[in-house]
Amino acid sequence: MTPRATGHILEQIKLTEELIAAGLAYEVNGSVYFRVTAWPGYGKLSGRDIDELSVGTREVVRGEKEDPRDFALWKRAEPGHVQRWDSPWGSGFPGWHIECSAMALKYLGENFDIHAGGLDLQFPHHEAEIAQAEGAGHPFARYWLHSNMLTVGGEKMSKSKGNFTTLSCFYRDHDPLALRFLFVSSHYRSITEVSDEAYGAARSGLGRLREARRELARRLETAPDGGDASLEKRVEAARADFEAAMDDDFNTPEALAALFNLTRDVNTALAGSVGRAALEKALAAYDELGEGVLGLFPAAEAEGVSVREDLLDTLVTVAIEARRQYRLDREYARSDELRDRLKAAGVQLEDTPEGTRWRLG
């Protein structure tokens, strides 16, 4: 759902009327302003002292305000202004903040759980949203999540600087899930650097998790019955660490660390023989935590090996068998050439006592 402010003018007018009735807003020459000093809770989200606030909003400071800290709920439309609707105060248009309070109350109801947004919106925008809603008698959001900035080369990513790209352009050349990995590898309240180096590290990290999950699925096909107490214990420990991290203010970097610790233990266990029950528990952890919570694996992959990956697995297996035959026939140059061609295509081979394994990356 993508509601538009221009489609909710009546709701914004109604909320403004409620604030006027509550004595928290006043009309001057066709404009309506929120009386900041009349609302005791103003500043509670950002922790700012109302007596120390300076004018820092995007709107033009009009001399008709009672106080320069007051902000517009409704603005009169000057001659030639393209936005104008009829209202009890004359022809005009809503202020910057009122639209969000009105639409949130309409679609999410009172006292909804979570309101998110960029850290730069905490003040004055989100502060004003709370004042407008609660001042009119409507309990607002219970929790606020403010994400920090994205940077490129240490500079804030912004349209004005030109140091940005759109998702559609990014996805033409890159794996969308690697970008998701990059975002969750940084706490939402931390600055996140978006660069080729950062993306490359994210792609590599995601590849490690994918390969561990893929190998678990492969080994399940021929795994013996029974379990593995050591691996099962490590799976439960990883689950506990993951859940503790997410309970700690959505600490996704620590949650990822739990998955990487699990991956280390899985790879150690797969060097030997592991029973089906232990493999199933480990695979379930990847799907329920890595996909179910963080969304790092495609839905098709969470259900099993996707059609595309099944085809890739078949083709690589054929190549591995051909390489094995070359080695048996002592055609080592052809064996090495095949390995190098696979490597150039992004397929890494690893010879183990249990046979040759492969991974992407």
Tokens encoding 149: 């900035």
| pLDDT score of 239 | 98
Q: Determine the average pLDDT of the residues in 235-247.
A: 98
Q: Determine the average pLDDT of the residues in 334-341.
A: 90
Confidence of residue 171 (pLDDT cuts 50, 70, 90): confident
**Bridge pairing between strands 92-94 and 71-76:** antiparallel
Between CA 217 and CA 224, with CA 221 as vertex, the angle to 5 degrees is 115
- Which DSSP helix (H) or strand (E) runs through 184? helix 176-184
Residue 110 reports pLDDT greater than 80: yes
Helix 229-247 / helix 252-270 crossing angle, nearest 10 deg: 170
CA distance 110 to 348: 54
8 or 217, higher pLDDT: 8
Least confident of 131-145, 146-160, 255-269, 296-310: 296-310
Distance, CA of 61 to chain centre: 36
Q: Determine the average pLDDT of the residues in 332-347.
A: 87
> pLDDT above 90 covers what percent of the chain?
66
Tokens encoding 45: 């989200």
| pLDDT score of 93 | 97
| pLDDT score of 348 | 83
Q: Determine the average pLDDT of the residues in 166-185.
A: 89
Domains of the chain: 5-147 (3.40.50.620), 195-303 (1.20.120.640), 307-360 (no CATH)
Between the alpha carbon of residue 237 and those of residues 233, 243, 252, the distances in Å are: 6, 10, 17
Rg of the chain taking only CA atoms, in angstroms? 29
| pLDDT score of 62 | 57
Q: Helix (H, G, I), strand (E, B), or coil: what is residue 280?
A: helix
pLDDT tens, position by position, 294-330: 999 875 444 444 445 567 778 888 889 899 888 888 8
Least confident of 82-91, 254-263, 330-339: 330-339
Residue ranges of alpha helices (H) inside 222-360 are 229-247, 252-270, 276-285, 299-303, 307-328, 332-344
Rounded to 5 degrees, what are φ and ψ at 127? Answer: -60, -40
23 or 227, higher pLDDT: 23
Least confident of 155-159, 273-277, 354-358: 354-358
pTM, whole model, 2 decimals? 0.74
CA distance 1 to 197: 35
With CA atoms as reference, report the closest residue to 12 among 112, 98, 88.
98
Average pLDDT of the residues of the chain: 90
| pLDDT score of 304 | 43
DSSP code string of 297-320: S-HHHHHSS-HHHHHHHHHHHHHH
**Bridge pairing between strands 114-118 and 143-147:** parallel
Tokens encoding 173: 């050349």
